[in-house]
Amino acid sequence: MNIIDIIEKKKRGNKLTKEEIDFFVQGYSRDTIPDYQISALLMAIWCKGLDREETTNLTLSMVKSGETVDLSQIDGIKVDKHSSGGVADTVSLPLVALVAANGVPVAKMSGRGLGHTGGTIDKLESIPGLKTEIPIEEFINIVKRVKGAIVAQSKNLVIADKKMYALRDVTATVDSVPLIASSIMSKKIAAGADAIVLDVKVGDGAFMKNLSDALTLAKTMVDIGSLAKRKTVAYITDMNEPLGDAIGNAIEVEEAIDVLKGKGGKRLVNVIKTLGGEMLTLGGKAKDTQQGQEMIERAIEDGTGLRKFREIIQAQGGNPHVTENFSLFPKAKFRIEVKAEESGYISHIETEEVGKLAAFLGAGRTKKGEKIDLSVGILFPKKVGDFVKKGDKIAEILSNDMGKGEEAKKRLLKLIELKENKVQPLPLIYYRVSEEGIKKFIE
């Protein structure tokens, strides 16, 4: 077999066999095929695409390129969750605790952020003492004991994806649905879950800007999961405005705790209930998603979700008292109020730019490995459809640099559009995608 022949075949739009895909994935992982040839192949894939079978074979070959996690020691159906990312997407922290509190084990491996804020792992590390770099055996033991854990992804997991993603980033081949889907699903499958719930964000603050592309990605990932014998369900949710009220790291953990205390914003809580209801159904604890959502609501109301979050924090070496004492979190030196300069209804928020503003303050990375400031960010509770009066406080900038904070304040006001007439709130959930089909609903 020859890599040049494989490039030529895909360049002409022909289907690659499982053996050909294995050849280039394993060859690249072992450094027997150079970057420049894989770059050419990635561009051919970007131009000509991969079909359902090719995409699944690529995913499974990437899984084989590194270690896999065996969760068979953990009783029950293990359910994982993945979000395609957005602004103020504080879902995973309360969700894992609420699902685990209802008896479904969640062994979640997450990444660090590259973009406007840190990833789930960065956020967790704002909890004093909490460890995210945990050996697999200890990770499994924690999940066996408390039903949930969130740790950093093993460096030896899906080696091919790490190498190929770095190459895609510098060869303009990131935005290919088969390559995005195989990257996400290879990590989820390698992490060992029996079932996977996907939150595919769509809109201004998401990677997928329109519903058609989001649906294509969701269907592709559900197909991969099905062919890989993992029950997989995807929801397409709105990211045309920040989902929660906090954009940062420590402040997002504080918001997650507020959710578990019954004080979360409606849109954030509704996404958590929707995904959690699905996870409990796939995990065999709820007869359907409606009952699953009711179980999530009860775990918030009776405090079992909050208690479970404390257990998870403690099991990972963190200080559980953060749930009652937010002063234990890293704090920014300056809090700068942002006040409305005119009255009106919020009609549009440039969500991606708001996220970039948080990164400007230091809450996110512009390159891999860059240190982020866990204490800074933006508190922005207003949503599309809200009425604001001139002089009302609409946001708060948290900064360790007064100059940057004042600059962020000026820039934020330009990212919010007001209208005189009443504006309807945005839809939240557009579709549920499963092996059985696509359900459309607007919530």
Q: What is the set of active-site residues?
A: 82, 161, 168, 183, 187
Tokens of 332: 């920014």
Burial class (CB in 10 A: 0-12, 13-18, 19+), 417: middle
DSSP one-letter string for 168-210: HHTTT-S--HHHHHHHHHHHHHHTT-SEEEEEEEESTTSSB-S
Helix axes 52-64, 159-169, angle to 10 degrees: 120
- AA letter at 55: T
Apex 56 CA angle, 54 and 62, nearest 5: 100
Q: Torsion over CA of 124, 255, 387 and 267, rounded to 10 degrees? A: 80
399 within 8 A of 333, measured Cβ to Cβ: yes
Closest listed residue to residue 416, CA positions, set 376, 380, 379, 364: 380
Apex 383 CA angle, 246 and 401, nearest 5: 40
161 within 8 A of 73, measured Cβ to Cβ: no
